[in-house]
Amino acid sequence: MDITLGVLADYASVSQDGKLNIMGIFGEINPPMLPFGIPMMYLILSFEASPSEYDTDKAIKVTLLDSEGKAIMGMEQSMRVQPARRPGSRSVLNAVVGLAGIKFEHAGDYAFSVLVGGEEKKSIMLHVNEPVRRIP
């Protein structure tokens, strides 16, 4: 199983027919102060699997790491690979995860590490900028 898309966005959803709807893709945030709890962001992942993987379960693990490699949060889930709509083609599975209130203690680089079956398949970078000091 491969990850063909991995982004962070202000909003995302998957339509009934499987289309991804993504608004406001970003790779950095500008907090008004630190520490900062981001009200809401979405992690969007699109997986592709070959016909040999149909009807198998894949262990998916996502961990948010700070610049020192310390885990800030993590989640795990098993995903069943469904057969593609067209026989013999690759199956596409889209996932949208809403993340509310994640607290960033300091400015710097962060990464969402995405593992499939214990192997890292994608790292989605996020940079937290220093708050800008406003001059009155």
| Residue 29 CB contacts under 8 Å (≥ 6 apart), including other chains | 36, 38, 104, 126, 127, 128, 129
CATH of the domain spanning 2-128: 2.60.40.10
The per-residue pLDDT for 17 is 86
pLDDT by residue (tens digit) across 45-55? Answer: 999 999 999 99
Peptide bond before residue 35 is cis, with ω within 30 degrees of 0: yes
pLDDT digits (tens, 9 = 90+) for 80-121: 999 998 888 999 999 999 999 999 999 999 999 999 999 999
Is residue 46 within 8 Å of 12, Cβ to Cβ?
Answer: no
Predicted TM-score of the model (pTM): 0.91
Beta strands in 15-118, from DSSP E residues, in sequence order: 20-26, 28-29, 36-38, 41-49, 57-65, 71-80, 91-99, 102-104, 108-116
Does residue 51 sit in helix, strand or coil?
Answer: helix
- For the chain, the structural domain boundaries read 2-128
